């Protein structure tokens, strides 16, 4: 399957680096991450095109058969345009639409209000990565804390593995020794690097930390990862997208996904 979406191409590249299994069935891809089975976007089906309404039951049954132990259903749809209307049948079947704004930058500049107080550096120590898990838990409001903590530890191990394999780095903004904001940037292919999981602690938002960190990490990507283009996927309806635009990222494509957190609910 020839994937057109810049977002999904970079997603798949990083999943491969992290050890995920990707099966090509021609009109769809099946992605599995055995080390983290509750990772929604590490265990999903990527469709070449939106499904026809008549195919809904077969599509859902096939997904359940592929992931028999999973409580979630996740589908990506390849393409570069907003496909919300075409995915309405899946929404009516109980899945939630997840639209992404695919943003790119070939150069960046400081945000309007850069922060000069935090320490900006890559995560290195065991304590850094433990704080990475704690930050992810503090930013999560969708899954119960005990269940999410298991996922967060697995996800951090995957991220640290990418770093230690030389594919990129996970950076943080530290305020008084506390990890306040964090994000990853990894080489997806020659000249192309992808941001991952931009998060800022709820108690420390609005201080310019994320914008300053995006700027610093972007400079790292251009200089150390030999990237000519940086890729960021953001929620078009969330205020953080203004932060990315403020340092030079522009909207390039749309990413279309649908998901159901608990298929038994």
pLDDT at 161: 95
**In this structure, are 10 and 90 located in the same domain?**
yes
**In this structure, are 29 and 93 located in the same domain?**
yes
Identify whether 104 is part of a domain: no
Identify whether 25 is part of a domain: yes
CB neighbours of 251 closer than 8 A, spacing ≥ 6?
101, 102, 103
**In this structure, are 154 and 77 located in the same domain?**
no
Angstrom distance (rounded) from CA 118 to CA 179: 10
Direct distance between the N- and C-terminal alpha carbons of the chain, in angstroms, rounded to an integer: 33
The mean pLDDT value for 13-32 works out to 96
The mean pLDDT value for 143-169 works out to 90
**In this structure, are 180 and 77 located in the same domain?**
no
Structure tokens at 249: 């990222």
pLDDT at 144: 65
The residue with tokens 């995006």 is 214
CB neighbours of 88 closer than 8 A, spacing ≥ 6?
none
Q: Which of 15, 60, 57 is nearest to 36 (CA)?
A: 15
pLDDT at 104 over 80: yes
The residue with tokens 């057109």 is 4
Identify whether 105 is part of a domain: no
The mean pLDDT value for 170-177 works out to 98
Number of other residues whose CB lies within 10 A of the CB of residue 166: 10
The 8-class DSSP code of residue 127 comes to: H
pLDDT at 160 over 90: yes
Do 105 and 249 touch, CB atoms closer than 8 A? yes
**In this structure, are 48 and 138 located in the same domain?**
no
Do 252 and 146 touch, CB atoms closer than 8 A? no
**In this structure, are 144 and 225 located in the same domain?**
yes
pLDDT at 98 over 80: yes
Identify whether 1 is part of a domain: no
pLDDT at 198: 94
pLDDT at 212: 98
- Structural domains counted in the chain: 2
- Find the CATH number of the domain harbouring 42: 3.40.630.30
pLDDT for 116-132, tens place per residue? 999 999 999 999 999 99
Identify whether 108 is part of a domain: no
Do 42 and 196 touch, CB atoms closer than 8 A? no
The residue with tokens 């997208």 is 241
Angstrom distance (rounded) from CA 67 to CA 22: 14
Structure tokens at 143: 């899954």
Confidence of residue 263 (pLDDT cuts 50, 70, 90): low
Identify whether 110 is part of a domain: no
Instruction: Say whether pTM exceeds 0.85.
Output: yes
pLDDT for 212-259, tens place per residue? 999 999 999 999 999 999 999 999 998 889 999 999 999 999 999 999
Do 213 and 244 touch, CB atoms closer than 8 A? no
**In this structure, are 242 and 151 located in the same domain?**
yes
Structure tokens at 49: 């095109």
Angstrom distance (rounded) from CA 214 to CA 104: 12
pLDDT for 179-207, tens place per residue? 999 999 999 999 999 999 999 999 999 99
pLDDT for 40-78, tens place per residue? 999 999 999 999 988 989 999 999 999 998 889 999 999
pLDDT at 209: 97
**SS3 state at 97:** strand
- Helix segments in the chain, DSSP class H: 6-17, 56-66, 88-92, 126-139, 145-164, 209-224, 241-246
pLDDT at 99: 93
pLDDT at 264: 54
pLDDT at 38: 87
Number of other residues whose CB lies within 10 A of the CB of residue 228: 13
What range does the domain containing 234 cover? 119-247
């Amino acid at each position: 399957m020839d994937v057109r979406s810049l977002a999904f191409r970079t997603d798949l590249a990083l999943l491969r680096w992290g050890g995920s299994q990707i099966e090509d069935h021609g009109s769809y891809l099946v992605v599995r991450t055995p080390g983290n089975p509750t990772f929604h976007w590490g265990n999903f089906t990527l469709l070449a095109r939106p499904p026809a309404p008549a195919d809904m039951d077969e599509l859902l049954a096939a997904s359940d058969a592929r992931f028999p132990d999973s409580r979630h259903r996740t589908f990506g749809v390849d393409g570069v345009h907003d496909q919300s209307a075409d995915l309405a049948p899946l929404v009516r079947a109980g899945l939630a639409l997840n639209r992404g704004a695919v943003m790119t930058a070939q150069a960046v500049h400081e945000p309007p209000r850069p922060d000069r107080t935090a320490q900006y550096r890559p995560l290195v120590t065991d304590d850094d990565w433990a704080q990475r898990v704690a930050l992810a838990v503090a930013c999560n409001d969708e899954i119960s804390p005990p269940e999410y903590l298991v996922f967060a530890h697995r996800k951090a191990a995957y991220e640290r593995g990418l770093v230690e394999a030389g594919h990129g780095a996970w950076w943080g903004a530290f305020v008084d020794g506390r990890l306040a904001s964090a994000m990853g940037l990894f080489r997806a292919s020659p000249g192309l690097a992808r941001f991952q999981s931009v998060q800022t602690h709820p108690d420390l938002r609005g201080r310019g930390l994320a914008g300053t960190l995006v700027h610093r990490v972007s400079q790292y990507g251009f200089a150390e990862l030999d990237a000519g283009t940086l890729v960021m996927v953001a929620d078009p309806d969330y205020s953080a997208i203004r932060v990315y635009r403020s340092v030079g990222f522009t909207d390039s494509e749309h990413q279309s996904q649908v998901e159901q957190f608990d298929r038994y609910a």
